[in-house]
Structure 1
Amino acid sequence: MPEPQKPAKAAKAPQKHETRVLDPRSLRGLAHPLRMQLLRSLRHQGPATASQLAERLGESSGATSYHLRQLAAHGFVEDDPSLGKGRERWWKAAQQGIRWDESLDRNSDPDVRGAADLLLHETASHHTQELSTWIATRHEWPAWAGASDMSDFTLRLPPAAVRELGERLHALIEEYRDAPEAEAPDAARVRLHLHAFPQREA
């Protein structure tokens, strides 16, 4: 007996992938492990209440409430009035990404440098965790054999060329964000990590 047909989904209108450019103040407001987890959860899993986020992250609702308010004060999260009922407060991410202002790397303020180091190390740790999870569970994704990628390359380029390469890669990735393939039956959320950095030659 054939499987019942699912009703066709309405075509989604392309959504702009808004990003937030970090400045020293907003960097210090975001550079906290729990705040980064909260923002990541809202971006990847959608709006939630402080209690739902507390359960999801294994934290107290008091801690999630406090840090959500701090994120809101810096413009990273906001209320979602379409979901709130009564005193229940739902939060959503205000943007879907952040961008690093290169002036932060030249900032001599110890607090800014410390916040930058924390944010970068937390991000790198999360990337490592995601990759480790994929390696441990890849047998659960047989259809993705040969589709995933874990490559590294070594080039010899000046900073301007690396910046251009990064911009071209980002532009290419953006072309796939609202591609029709996103609605394919076998589509899944795909994470892409892009790291580019110089090394001293031996």
Structure 2
Amino acid sequence: MNEPREWPVRPLDARSLRGLAHPLRMRLLTALRHGGPATASQLAAKLGESSGATSYHLRQLAAHGFVEDAPEHGKGRERWWRAAHGGVSFDETLLKDPDPEVRGAADLFLHEIANQRTQELATWLATRNDWSEAWRRASDMSDWTLRLTPALALDLVEKMHELVESYRALAPEDGTADTEQVRVHTHVFPTHTD
């Protein structure tokens, strides 16, 4: 479980993006954000990677300020890691950066986010029968097609974000029965009709 603290959102810049835009690093950071502090060995087992690879990439994430030591969890020589931020914000201008390496990292970052969300949804579908009927009824896979201007689409995004954020204040206290971590994905993008 994540520690009960307010986590800031970190804006990505060209340097930090290059430090994060790697599939394993992004998976490690996601695992720490969703599952709480862990060791490189625990993360390796969870993600099907070698502990050498997870150790190396955790150190790279630490060098760029995405993860930090969690010494309150360590015993002996074990090094525990935790996420340093609750999330990142992506600046669209990174896709137009004059440096092709930054543009490539931005593209990789966005595609990896899409891959992770697809994997989360696939995992839910594969394990949904392991959940209670109440949780199965409370899940949702909806989609809508609307005709909007860019201004209306942006308004929709902002209102969805406000609504989701408003539920943080309603979160039950630790130990409340039948409380689980819930993932909410939103996607708003234009499509051609032809």
| 1:147 counterpart residue number | 138
Instruction: Give the Å deviation of 1:178.
Output: 3.7
Is this contact kept in 2: 1:15–1:178, CA < 8 A? no
Between stretches 136-145 and 36-45, larger displacement belongs to 136-145
What's 2:117 paired with? 127
Which stretch has the larger CA shift, 146-155 or 135-144?
Answer: 135-144
Check if 1:197 corresponds to 2:189: yes
How well do the aligned residues superpose, as a CA RMSD in angstroms? 2.0
Q: Percent identity between the aligned chains?
A: 63
2:160 to 131, 150, 169: 169
CA deviations over 1:88-112 (Å, ceiling 9, x no partner)? 2211100011111122133242211
Gaps of 5+ in 1: 1-13
- Which structure is larger by alpha-carbon Rg, 1 or 2? 1
Measure how far apart 1:74 and its partner are. 0.8
**What are the superposed Cα offsets for residues 31-82 of structure 1, whole Å, 9 maximum, x if unpaired?**
1111011111111111111122122222222111111111011110011122
1:22 aligns with 2:28: no
Provide the rounded CA distance (Å) in 1 between the counterparts of 2:28 and 2:146.
36
With normalisation by structure 1, the TM-score equals 0.85
- Cα distance between partner residues in 2 of 1:65 and 1:145: 37
Give matches, 1:62-141, under 5 Å. Answer: 62-141=52-131
Match in the other structure for 1:4: none
Q: How far, CA to CA, are the matches of 1:167 and 1:155 in structure 2?
A: 16
Tell me the distance in 1 between the aligned counterparts of 2:85 and 2:38: 15
Name the TM-score, length of structure 2 as normaliser: 0.88
Aligned partners of 1:19 and 1:97 also within 8 Å: yes
Displaced runs of 4 or more, over 6 A: none
